[in-house]
Amino acid sequence: MTDTDQDLPKRVVRTITLTEDDLNMLDEVERVLSKTGHRVKTDSKLIRAAINVASRVLHGKAYDINEIAEKVVREDGRSLSKLIAKKKP
């Protein structure tokens, strides 16, 4: 296990069922996040971003969609491994 792997949050695999309305809302989340310039396209990243926003709203906290997008991309193991591969000479 590398230092990079240790910095990532623990992942838990869960099966979820979404309705067509849920998927439409995820598409809306993707459109908003796309405007930030971040590649938040996979369902897991979109759901994590939506959970972050919902949690902050429920707790009456302000949120920055750009900050959330950066966090979700940074913590995604696949995205991180691609970034590390690109940085190698």
Residue 5 covered by a domain: no
Residue 8 covered by a domain: no
Residue 9 covered by a domain: no
Q: Is the pLDDT of residue 78 over 80?
A: no
Q: pLDDT tens across 18-61, in order?
A: 999 999 999 998 888 888 887 788 888 899 999 999 999 999 99
Helices 65-75, 77-87: inter-axial angle, 10-degree rounding: 80
Q: Which domain range does residue 57 map to?
A: 19-87
Residue 7 covered by a domain: no
- The pTM assigned to this predicted structure is 0.70
* Structure confidence at residue 5 (pLDDT): 60
Q: pLDDT tens across 60-76, in order?
A: 999 999 999 888 888 87
C-beta pairs of 57-61 under 8 Å, 24+ apart in sequence: none
Region of 55 please: left (phi>0), alpha (psi -120 to 50) or beta: alpha
Which residue in the block uniquely carries the two structure tokens 């792997």?
Answer: 5
Structure tokens, 65: 């969609």
Domain count, the chain: 1
Query: Is the Cα dihedral 64, 29, 76, 59 positive or negative?
Result: positive
Residue 83 covered by a domain: yes
